[in-house]
Amino acid sequence: MILFLLPIPLASAMKDEGFSPLQMEALKGAKYVGSESCGACHEKEVKEFQTSTHARVSVPGEGMQIQDCEMCHGPAGLHMDAGGGKGNILNPTKDVETCFQCHTDKKMEFSQPFHHPVLEGKMNCTSCHSAHGTDVRAWSATTLKGVNETCFDCHKEQRGPFVFEHEAVREGCMTCHQVHGSMHSKMLVARDNNLCLRCHTQMNFPVIGKQSHAGRLPQATCFTAGCHTAVHGSNFDDHLRY
Ligand code: HEC
Ligand code: HEC
Ligand code: HEC
Ligand code: HEC
Ligand code: HEC
Ligand code: HEC
Ligand code: HEC
């Protein structure tokens, strides 16, 4: 069990972090009761959750350790008294503040000038992460294929298949994109040629491939119109120019 120290107690975090009044009201007076009995009615979630990263986390609160389900769903006392039901326990489907309680740095990332519209409520953490599953990241540590599949759910154009693939994409979208948010447009890791030169620097630089790029590099980025705009792959040109 990892002991994870919250900067602020859960209850006041809920207030400060803007849980809706409805949710606060719903939970007023509710007590933490532990998660042992959830499985009787939520077998699927409990089973999935056993091997999750979050199953190893716990936070201190009100004279006890808060862990497992109640970490995200809040005190389950009222829910248990009522024998289940809706509206008497937090359902974070639409409220990502649940996650920010502990992942405070992520709120900053989503506040960057270019970001996925999570704070705007157009998508949420579970668009890409699994709430209960083993892999909170919806892909495994050994293959990045899974992460690209997550992205293709919404970004079909980048999926291909392309006649001329760009091998970089196989290494994962995060090779070039900061997916929570970035200070560069299109959430790029870098906005200039360094984005590409990390991989495309040769001994005889400024030759790249078989062409000297001496005159070209100072003029524009590698992916400017007229150059290699088809960074994700091309059906027309093996140099990814369009
Ligand atoms: C890391 C935070 C987190 C933990 C821990 C967690 N959940 Fe959830 N739970 C969520 C989120 C987020 C959703 C909303 C799912 C979505 O948006 O797809 C959810 C949804 C649910 C739902 C509603 C499903 C539906 O179809 O509406 C149930 C029931 C549930 N969780 C039960 C549990 C149980 C039981 C546990 C403990 C074994 C648990 N959860 C632990 C984050 C969590
Ligand atoms: C006696 C059965 C029972 C037990 C025990 C139980 N639940 Fe539920 N739970 C339900 C029912 C029934 C619903 C409503 C499902 C629906 O209408 O789709 C529900 C709904 C939920 C929801 C979604 C609420 C919403 O407003 O959308 C969450 C989250 C949840 N349960 C978590 C838990 C957690 C965590 C525990 C353990 C602390 C737990 N439940 C214990 C029966 C139970
Ligand atoms: C009570 C605190 C807490 C809450 C609430 C919480 N997390 Fe976490 N989360 C953690 C801790 C601690 C880790 C482990 C960090 C580590 O091992 O480096 C973690 C790890 C993760 C990871 C990385 C998993 C991995 O296998 O590397 C992701 C992704 C994640 N959380 C997403 C979420 C999302 C999405 C939510 C809301 C649905 C959420 N967390 C809610 C504390 C929390
Ligand atoms: C558009 C998809 C997407 C959304 C939405 C998203 N994430 Fe992530 N998240 C990722 C990817 C991809 C990674 C892996 C980054 C890497 O390995 O470089 C990641 C990594 C993480 C990690 C572990 C690594 C780290 O940076 O600490 C945490 C924790 C995390 N996300 C939390 C969250 C939370 C909390 C939310 C919602 C507020 C969220 N994510 C929303 C795609 C997403
Ligand atoms: C649930 C749907 C969804 C998923 C999954 C998703 N995205 Fe997005 N993505 C969006 C939305 C919505 C926008 C914002 C589009 C806008 O503002 O016009 C966006 C914007 C972007 C942009 C910036 C586009 C632009 O024109 O500025 C990039 C790059 C991006 N996503 C990459 C990714 C990557 C990489 C992943 C996988 C880790 C991913 N997305 C997963 C929905 C999604
Ligand atoms: C080799 C670096 C690289 C990789 C890997 C990469 N991208 Fe991109 N992506 C870019 C660049 C550069 C742009 C911006 C192009 C521009 O500004 O005209 C971009 C733009 C985008 C956009 C905005 C729409 C567009 O085409 O301009 C989306 C969406 C996107 N990428 C999604 C993805 C997804 C999903 C993946 C993984 C399958 C991915 N990218 C992998 C470099 C990359
Ligand atoms: C993660 C490493 C990596 C990154 C980052 C990367 N590439 Fe690549 N790229 C490759 C690999 C590997 C190949 C295939 C082998 C080769 O031709 O060098 C390739 C091939 C290419 C090709 C086709 C080669 C040819 O014969 O014309 C072009 C064009 C290209 N990349 C442009 C870019 C551009 C533009 C960027 C920046 C947006 C970029 N690459 C970023 C790894 C990368």
CA distance 106 to 225: 33
- Check pocket membership of 173 for ligand 2, CB cut-off 6 A: no
Per-residue pLDDT at 145: 60
pLDDT digits (tens, 9 = 90+) for 72-113: 998 899 999 999 998 888 888 777 888 888 898 999 999 999
Identify the nearest ligand to the CA of 187 by its number: 5
- Check pocket membership of 176 for ligand 4, CB cut-off 6 A: no
Side-chain-side CA neighbours of 142 within 13 Å: the count stands at 0
Per-residue pLDDT at 1: 36
pLDDT band per the 50, 70, 90 thresholds, residue 225: confident
Q: Is the pLDDT of residue 173 over 60?
A: yes
What are residue 59's phi and psi, to 5 degrees? -125, 145
- Which residues are registered as beta bridge partners of 2? 57
- Which residues are registered as beta bridge partners of 207? 212
* Long-range contact pairs involving 108-111 (C-beta distance under 8 Å, separation at least 24): 109/178, 109/180, 109/181, 110/180, 110/181, 111/181
Residue nearest to atom 27 of ligand 7 (CA): 239
CA distance 26 to 90: 8
At 124 the three-state DSSP class reads coil
- Check pocket membership of 187 for ligand 4, CB cut-off 6 A: no
CA distance 162 to 164: 5
3-state secondary structure 155-188: CHHHHCCCCEECHHHHCCHHHCECCCEECCHHHE
Q: What is the mean pLDDT of the chain?
A: 85
Per-residue pLDDT at 129: 87
CA of 173 to the centre of ligand 6 (A): 8
pLDDT digits (tens, 9 = 90+) for 36-45: 999 999 999 9
Q: Is the pLDDT of residue 12 over 50?
A: no
- Check pocket membership of 174 for ligand 2, CB cut-off 6 A: no
At 104 the three-state DSSP class reads helix
pLDDT band per the 50, 70, 90 thresholds, residue 5: very low
Q: Average pLDDT of 160-180?
A: 94
The full set of domain ranges for the chain reads 2-104, 145-234
Identify the nearest ligand to the CA of 98 by its number: 3
Q: Is the pLDDT of residue 8 over 80?
A: no
Side-chain-side CA neighbours of 197 within 13 Å: the count stands at 13
Flag whether the pTM goes above 0.75: yes
In the DSSP assignment, the letter for residue 53 is: G
**What percent of the chain clears pLDDT 70, i.e. is strictly above it?**
85
For residue 92, give the ligand 3 atom closest to its CA.
38
pLDDT digits (tens, 9 = 90+) for 144-167: 567 888 899 999 999 999 999 999
Distances in Å between the Cα of 214 and the Cα atoms of 193, 204, 205, 207, 226 are: 13, 11, 8, 7, 16
Per-residue pLDDT at 114: 98
CA of 199 to the centre of ligand 2 (A): 50
